[in-house]
Structures are given as structure tokens and as C-alpha cells.
Amino acid sequence: MREEPQAILDALPYAAAIVQRGPNGPVCRAANLVLERWAAIGRNAAIGLPLVALRPFAEASALVVAIEEVLDGADPREVNWLGAVGVRDRHLSAHLARLPDEPARVMVTVRDRSPEMQAERSLRQTMLHDALTGLPNRVMFIEAAESAIEQASAGIAHKQHSAVLALDINRFKSINEGLGHLAGDELLISFARRLLPCIRGGDVLARLSGDEFAVLVRGIDTPDEALHVANRIHDALGTPFGIVERELFIGASIGIATTMTSSNFAEDLLRDAEFALNRAKATGIARTELYQPIAHDQAKSRFELEADLRHAIEREELRLYYQPLVDLRTGRVSGFEALARWQHPERGVVQPSEFIPLAEETGLIVPIGRWALNTACRQLAEWRTRLGRDDLMMAVNLSGGQLVRDDVVDAVTQALEAADLPGDRLKIELTESVIIDNPKRAGAILERLKALDVSIAMDDFGTGYSSLAYLQKLPIDVLKIDRSFVSNMFETEDSYKIVTAILGLAASLGMETVAEGIETVAQADRLTDLACHVGQGFLYAKPLSAADAETYLADEASA
């Protein structure tokens, strides 16, 4: 028998032994100093001992089986087990391989993986928990939610549904800004501690980010069980927080989504709860909102519509239609109001009441408004040239989003110059609210527009507030009487009085008047008797395409 490679074993930095078959299992034929120290025996005392008699291998039955399989010709392998080293159990890992020149023997090298596993646990703790509050973070929360949903789907859970509560602290930004970030951190810690007693055993409270928290409510039959948790949270927040020697009353908004009405995917469930949270915040403070699929579908549709609207101009889906403005004294067309229409390739015609507010909210009204201004000016210039109608005016609406921009006067100037259109042929229409929201800035911009000979009309007059105070201060040329008053002239005395009052006010200030929404001859006749200058409405024509508007002018000329 050749000499055991003791020197090779002793050179290894980890425990090692050479074993062979014995009558009662593998027997140790050589061991290095590390293994002997682990086994707490003297030098060479391990030789001839059954492997399981050595302390690290005492509970390693799987290792014994694996060694015998390798001796029988199986491939080298790794075996993990919990074995005693020193005064405590350690996580051990052994690699088994036959000696190339002695196939009847196996070299067993053993590593202590406890430090490595502790590092993994520490890393996992860091990765899955919030450093400030110690609560599970978003990643761990999603894992817990996925596990709860899977257990319910597999029938393991007693109750088949789960819920997610998304919460955030009302006015947290103001606290951070007013008292500082240290106070904000202190509040977050206190908030987490206040919430923990509110949740049930087995539920999970997590901090997702900033001041947003979430609760996973496992095993429910109805949404009411999740609502009870939300109510407990609101009740717990009823007493003040002591933060930086101040008493702060803190509320929370809560959105709830359940697997009964939402998705069975954790990320989607949290998304729906956050959607409900946003709705709760929009309706007030310290409110709870339950996720409703129909509301989410509406929001999704609105989002998709916004995405489509961003490309509507470049895809040439937007159109301008032109509604005639008729001189009530002569019956002739004095101009047109340019009105935007959207021919969506899939939805068909999208009404202005749907896409104009969306454009204003998203800022898309600025490029759309510039497009409308340029298109309308070009169209009027074309009619002036081809039809010889130098008397026509073009009215174009200007939104609040356009009015507050520094380049609005430049945009109007460029549109007039590009179309070679005189400024006195363009009428800019503004609603009362646009002017009243920022009268000083509006006044400055309107004065610059007046310098271009552009006329200014106040649209929907009579529907806003406090505008009378600005009529003498601002360069307003035209008052447009809102259609709601015109359509009810013969229905209610108040509407009739408002119409006559607006007409009288305009006459005293030397302003032109336009009545919107004229639908009957009786309305037109009464407005003419009251000295209204211009009428607009379905009595004369609905908004027309450019080609139909040109035909309308030609028919008028031939008549």
C-alpha cells in the first residue's frame, strides 16, 4: 500500500480526509490538521475510525450514501449538511472525488459555509428591508403577495382572497420642507410603529418608498375585512405624533385592491391599490377608496387617448372646421370661427369636449393651438385671394396654456406673416376664466396682440366671475354671449334679462357682440331687435369643412 498523501492534505486550508469502504460504512484513512481540530482528537487519531465517528460527520447520513455511490463509480458531487464544529453547529459542504490513481478511495474536502451564508442572509436582509424603518421593502412585499396568491390558488390557504392597502402620509412633503428631513425620518419611523398593531397576524406591512406604505391582508372572503384594517389605521392615526417637540396630527390616504376585483398578479394588485390611492387623495384627505375596475378602464382609456393625441398632428388626424359668423343686420357672412376636430383612426370622431381639456391638462394644447392658428390664417388668406372676400374675419380660440407662454405673440405674428394676412382680419377668442386667472399677465399680452391690429373677444361671457371689473382695463373688442343664455331666452326670464344686460353693457362700452347657439328664427329676430351685431349657430350652419365652407360662401354670393 502506498503512503497516504498526508502532506497534500495538510497543505489544504480547509478540512480534508481520504476515506475508503469499511465493514460498517466509509472509514477514514487520512485526515489533515483542520479536520482533526474540528473532531477534537489528537494527531493521526482519525485513521481507521468510521467516518460518522468524527464529529463533523456525525449527522451526515446523506454524505455516507454519497461516498458509497462515488466509490461505485458515480460522478463527483457536493453534499451539504448541518454538522457540529467547535461549540456550535455549522453549515458544512463536502466535495467528493475519487483519487485518480486509487479509485477505491475518495477524497472528502469540507468547507464551513456558515460565514458565507451569514453574509447572504445579511445581504438579503439589506436587500429586502427598508433601512430606516426596518420594515419589508417593495421587493419583499411583492414576494409575500405572490406567495399569498399562490397558496390561495393551490387551495392551501383557508380563505381564497387577499388584499393590498396602499397608503401615504397626508402633507408629508410640507412636513419635510417645514421641519426638515430629520423630522420627516422621525415621523416615518413613528408612523410605521403606529401601523404595526393595526394589522392582523400573518399580514405584512411594508414601506415601499418615501412616505408610501403598503399592507398585505391575507386570507379574506370580502372586501369589508380589508376595509376594517383601513379603519383601524385611520383610528390609530387619530392621536397626535410627537415630532421634534411638536404635536403633529397626521392622516393617511388609503387605496385598496383585492383579488376579487383586481388581478391575481402581485404587481398588478399593488398597481391597482395605488390607483385607488390616487383617487382617494383626489377626493380629500384621510380617505379610503376601494379599487373599481371601471374607473381604471376609464383612466387607461384616457392615457391611451393622450398617447394618440401626441401623434395626431403629425399623422394629420386633426382637422379645422369653420362655423359661419353672420351679420344679423345684413344676413351676410362676416367671418368664421375655426374649431378643431379629431378624426381618430380607430375611435372615429373624438369630440372637442373630450380631447381639448386633455390637451390643456397635458400641455399639448400649445402645439395644437399653434397648428390651428397657422391653418386658420392660411385658409382665410386663400379665401381672400380666390373668392375676393377681403371683408371676412377668422376667429381662433386661445387657451390659458397658450396665453401664459412668452412666445404667444410671436406665434400670432408668424402665423399672420406666413399667410400674408392683415392683423385686423384675425380675432383671438379667450374665455373669461383665462383672463381672470391672471389678469395682469393677460392684460400685458393682449396689449401686445392689439399692437398687431388683432381684435380680442371674450368668449362665453356671463358664465364666469368678476370679469366686469376687467372690461374697462383690458383691450376687449367683442363680447360673445354664451349659448346657454341664448337658447333659454324665451324659456326663462333670467336668461332674457342676462342677454339684454350684456348687450346694453357692450353698447355702453362700444364693444361688438356675438350671440352663440342661435337655432331659431325667433331667437335671431329678437337678438337683431336688441341690436346684437353677429350671430352664430345651427340656424345658419353647423361647423363646416373647408370645402363646405367655401361652397357656403359661393352659395351666398350667387344668392
Q: For the segment 6-27, what is each residue's pLDDT rounded down to a tens digit?
A: 878 888 899 999 999 998 889 9
- Structure letter (DSSP) for residue 30: E
Q: Give the residue-averaged pLDDT of 228-239.
A: 94
pLDDT at 157: 56
pLDDT at 403: 77
pLDDT in tens, 489-512: 888 898 899 999 999 999 998 999
Contact 474/452 with Cβ under 8 angstroms? no
pLDDT in tens, 81-112: 888 887 778 889 999 998 877 888 999 999 99
pLDDT at 195: 94
pLDDT in tens, 261-297: 877 889 989 999 998 998 898 888 889 999 887 766 6
**E-assigned strand segments in 210-317:** 212-220, 241-243, 246-248, 252-258, 288-290
Give yes or no for residue 118 having a pLDDT over 90: no
Contact 209/276 with Cβ under 8 angstroms? no
Of the two residues 554 and 303, the one the predictor is more confident about is 554
pLDDT at 465: 55
Check: pTM over 0.85? Answer yes or no.
Answer: no
Give yes or no for residue 547 having a pLDDT over 90: yes
Helix and strand element counts for the chain (H, E) = 21, 21
pLDDT at 207: 94
Q: Measured between alpha carbons, how far apart are the two ends of the chain, in Å?
A: 127
pLDDT in tens, 142-161: 999 998 888 877 655 566 78
Mean pLDDT of the chain: 88
Q: Give the residue-averaged pLDDT of 296-317.
A: 77
Q: Looking at this protein, which amino acid is placed at residue 407?
A: D
- Domains, the chain, with CATH or none: 6-116 (3.30.450.20), 129-291 (3.30.70.270), 304-558 (3.20.20.450)
In sequence order, which residues have a C-beta less than 8 Å from that of residue 439 and are 6 or more positions away?
470, 473, 474
Contact 109/12 with Cβ under 8 angstroms? yes
Give yes or no for residue 445 having a pLDDT over 70: yes
Residues above pLDDT 90, as percent of the chain: 47
Angle at 116 between CA 113 and CA 121, to 5 degrees: 120
pLDDT in tens, 340-364: 998 888 888 888 888 888 888 788 8
Give yes or no for residue 305 having a pLDDT over 80: no
Rg (CA), the chain: 40
pLDDT at 443: 85
Q: Which of 213-217, 229-233, 386-390, 467-471 has the lowest mean pLDDT?
A: 467-471
pLDDT at 1: 36
Cα distance between residue 476 and residue 454, in whole Å = 11
